[in-house]
Amino acid sequence: MNRKEALEHFEENIAKPAIVNILPVFYEKFRQQKDNFCEKLVNAVEQLLIQVNENEPEVEIATIRISYLQASILDGTYQWQIVAQDKREYLDKKEREIYVTFPEIFTCIEDLESELEKEVRKYVGNLYEGDVRNYKIQAFEKCMGCIYQAGMYAFRQFRKNEIFQHRKTHAVFKIMIGGYMDLMQIIFLQSKEDYEKVKEELYKPGEKKDLDEHQMIYRDYSGIELKEVAKRVEAKNLMFTCFANSRIRYHIFVLCSMIGVNFSESRIDDSGFVGATMQQADFTGAVLQNCDMHASMFYGGEYVDGQVTPGIFSVSFRNSTLHRVNFMCCDLRNCDFEGAKMSEIVLEDAKLQGARIESCYKEMLELTPEQEQEIIWI
């Protein structure tokens, strides 16, 4: 066996199966550590904003880049660089950067490296321990989907920060997460928009290309009132739009992409979200009355190699009020209903595995025996 044959044999029979095997281990570890991961990321960004505010208060921040350093993956420190840049994406001051490490999240990748190094020794003369490095990077990149989810979740937290809200930032503020080639971009439209123009755009018929566009754009429509009679919003990309503290009535959202939409503290009456994708949506403290959620997807799954993994960040209905809400055929796995007040709820054919619901509703909700067993009663 020559070196080329040895590399091919090692990759197909040892490295690739080993990477596939550690992914479930990583996802379980990440679920356990996700709050700590997000807290460290939020604190680091807030510290960076404080540094820039103290040293360069006149600089208008346009971009924050959160980048993993490949060398730190190889040495096991898993260090990330967070930098603030102006509208020219220019960085010229040490005060505009900060570093944070997450080795506790990636222990399974370190175990993978040790395992592969042992296997490499069996290919004496053809393979070397240095050959393992490429597979360690590949394993890390397979885990980036969770990092993206955490980055989006963290952004929702630190944009509420008082320093961020009062800091001088560009009208179109961007967050870049990932490496040089493996990158996700979040765009936050900072300035308030003309709500009449917003409504005009919402009510235009959507097209398939709108849903194929996967830019992570945070639009701030907080406080908007959508109360026109019998309005239909169809096939629109509304990912990460903020409708917090809004009033929505007589509207139906059909086949819309509403991933990460924020409806916290909103009032939604006589409206519907039919066939909508609503992973990572936030209904905390919202009031929903006479609403139809038929066949909508609330389960925050992540696709890896064609397989969907359990949700990382669940949809929150915490402390909400739900009256006459139809969840028929909805995927509500892992949704959090803690503190929610519920009456006349329809859950026929809904998926409820891992959903957290107050135990006082156990007798009130019409559930099949299977649904009752799937729910986490709190």
Per-residue pLDDT for 307 more than 60? no
What pLDDT shows up at residue 114? Answer: 94
Please report the pLDDT score of residue 304 as a whole number: 47
* More confident call, 187 vs 37: 37
Which range, 81-85, 150-154, 240-244, 283-287, is most confident?
Answer: 283-287
| pLDDT value for 303 | 41
Q: Is 170 helix (H, G, I), strand (E, B) or coil?
A: strand
What is the band of 10 on the pLDDT scale with cuts at 50, 70, 90? very high
pLDDT of res. 15: 94
Name which residue leads in pLDDT, 254 or 146: 254
The per-residue pLDDT for 52 is: 85
Residue range 200-229, pLDDT digits in tens: 777 776 655 554 444 556 777 888 888 876
pLDDT at 238: 85
- What's the maximum distance between 2 C-alpha atoms anywhere in the chain? 76
Q: What is the pLDDT of residue 233?
A: 86
> What share of the chain has pLDDT > 70, as a percent?
85
Check whether 249 has a pLDDT greater than 80: yes
Strands 267-269 and 247-249, bridge-based pairing = parallel
Q: How far apart are CA 31 and CA 114, in angstroms?
A: 24
| Amino acid identity at 341 | K
- 196 has a pLDDT exceeding 80: no
The C-alpha angle 305, 9, 115, rounded to 5 degrees, equals: 70
3-state secondary structure of 319: coil
- pLDDT score at 12: 94
* Residue 223, CA distances (Å) to 32, 261, 263, 337 in order: 35, 14, 10, 24
Q: Quick one: average pLDDT of 230-248?
A: 85
Q: Report whether pLDDT(190) > 60.
A: no
Contact status, residue 317 vs residue 296, Cβ threshold 8 Å: no
Residue 308's pLDDT band, with cuts at 50, 70 and 90, is: very low
Average pLDDT over the chain, rounded to whole?
84
Task: Give the C-alpha separation, 313 to 212, whole Å.
Answer: 23
For residue range 93-147, list pLDDT tens digits in order: 677 889 999 999 999 999 999 999 999 999 888 888 888 999 999 999 888 878 8
- Gap between the Cα atoms of 77 and 256, Å rounded: 41
pLDDT at residue 310 tops 80 = no
pLDDT for residue 213: 47
Residue 311's pLDDT band (boundaries 50, 70, 90)?
A: low
pLDDT cut 90: percent of the chain above it? 40
Q: Which residue has the higher pLDDT, 152 or 226?
A: 226
Q: What is the pLDDT of residues 345-356, one digit of tens each?
A: 999 999 999 899
Residue 17 pLDDT > 90: yes
For residues 38 and 237, the model is more confident at 38
- Is residue 44 classed as helix, strand or coil in its secondary structure? helix
- Stated as kind and residue range, the H or E segment containing 369 is helix 369-374
Residue 208: predicted pLDDT: 53
Residue 289 has pLDDT above 60, yes or no: yes
